[in-house]
Every structure is written in C-alpha cells, then in structure tokens.
Amino acid sequence: METIIKNKNQVPKFSTEQIYVNNDETKYNEVYDKVDKTIEQLQLSKKDSLHMKLLFEESIGMVKAITGDFTAIVWVEEYEGENWLRLVGKTNMDIDKKTDLISVSSSGENALAVGFMGKIRDFVETGLLNYDGVMKLQQKYSGYGMGISGSYLDTAIASNPHAFTGFMWTMDDYKKSLKEGNGEPETTAYWDELEKSIVASIAKDVVVGVEKNQIEMAFIMEI
C-alpha cells in the first residue's frame, strides 16, 4: 500500500495482516482477537507485547471516537530496532459535522479534545475537512495547544512549491515546540499532559499525516 508517512531509511522486514476497524462496537471482540494474533506473530518480549497492545488500544479507541463515518485499517511493520504500528483511515465527515461537534461546547471549542490523544483526534478530524479547516485549527492552537504552529507541513511543497497534498505532524516536533516555551504556564501544563500520556510514554515518536479525506498515523516503538 502506498502511504503518506514513509520510513526513508529502511524497508520493513515483516508486515502483519491488516485489520479493518470502524465504529461498529459489535465487531470489536473480533478486532481485538486479531490484534492478539498480530502481536503473537511479532514474537516480542512480554513487556513489548503489552506496550504494543496498549498502542493498538489507543489507536483503535481514537477510531471509535472520531465523529462521522470513519473506517481504518491497522497493522504493524517490523524494522531493525523498531516496530511501526500503522493506521490508515478515511471519512466522509464534512464541515457541518465538525461545526456541530465544536458547537457542543459553550466555549466554542471542541470540548472533547482533552489529553494528548484527544488533541491528536481534534487535529485528525479538522485536518480531514479541507485546507480552510486545517488553517483554522492552526489559529485555534496558535503556538502551543498542539505545538502545531510551524508543524503543519505541506508534504509536497519541498519538491514542488505549487503542489498541495496534505499536512504532517510529529510528536517529536511537538516536544521541541513545548521546550521552546521556556517554562511558561501554558507549555508546562501541556508538557505535564504529555508525560501522563500512555502513548507518549511508550512510543519513540508519533507521526500523523492528513491528505484530502485520508489520515495516517504511525506509532513508532523501539524494540
């Protein structure tokens, strides 16, 4: 499968079967059975197996929480010293659905965007809409909220300044932006939030790519 997020240094030694996920909760027992089988295939240590299962649960939980008709596939790619838990999803959510979601909050912001993964979900939901929606999110978080200021990257601009295909965000860039906050109260609060995140404590990095109606995530775990 052609993906937005690339590992430029390596070709995967092994890729697991892709698992289909949507927001139909009646299918989740079957989904988690497949997750367990996938983890067995990777032949990880007991600790790494637990960490991989937690990453699967967090990524699938985000799929369940995203508003609208959202479907995804998840699988693992094995590299030298790293496992990449990949998620590729698509949605038919439109700007009206996002507006309805935001309007639920009396503050006019997405009240559900709580915690590190909640903010990533907000980024994903907004980024899947359109260019205008993404730029509004950048203004909303204006610097720190997701460390997004300067982190939105048009994935085609480097090779073709006239092209526009999507946006990219990484946890590594987010951490750097928070460190540049020099201990200001807002950045300190977001750093504390990051330190409490299961995903941030397990993953070496998290990469999120958005292109048109497609979203990709890569949770990179050292092994």
Closest listed residue to residue 77, CA positions, set 27, 3, 167: 3
| pLDDT at 7 (0 to 100) | 85
At 105 the pLDDT is 44
pLDDT tens-digit profile, the chain (223 residues): 677 788 888 899 999 999 999 878 788 899 999 999 999 999 999 999 999 999 999 998 887 777 667 789 999 999 999 999 999 988 766 666 656 655 554 444 554 466 888 878 777 776 666 545 555 555 554 444 444 333 444 444 344 444 435 677 788 888 887 887 766 777 788 888 888 999 999 999 998 887 777 788 999 999 9
> What pTM does this model have?
0.79
Please state, for a pLDDT cut of 90, what percent of the chain lies above it.
32
Give pLDDT, residue 32: 95
pLDDT at 138: 53
Written as six digits, the tokens of 99 are 């507006």
Which of 152, 201, 198, 202 minimizes the C-alpha distance to 174?
152
- Range list of H helices, the chain: 28-42, 46-65, 95-103, 115-127, 131-141, 171-179, 185-195, 198-202
- What is the model's pLDDT at position 173? 82
Specify the pairing of strand 205-211 against strand 167-170: antiparallel
Extract the tokens encoding 61. Answer: 């939980």
Nearest Cα to Cα of residue 146 among 119, 182, 181, 168: 119
Is 63 buried (19+), middle (13-18) or exposed (0-12) by CB count in 10 A? buried
What pLDDT digit, counting tens, does each position of 152-183 carry?
Answer: 444 443 444 444 356 777 888 888 878 877 66
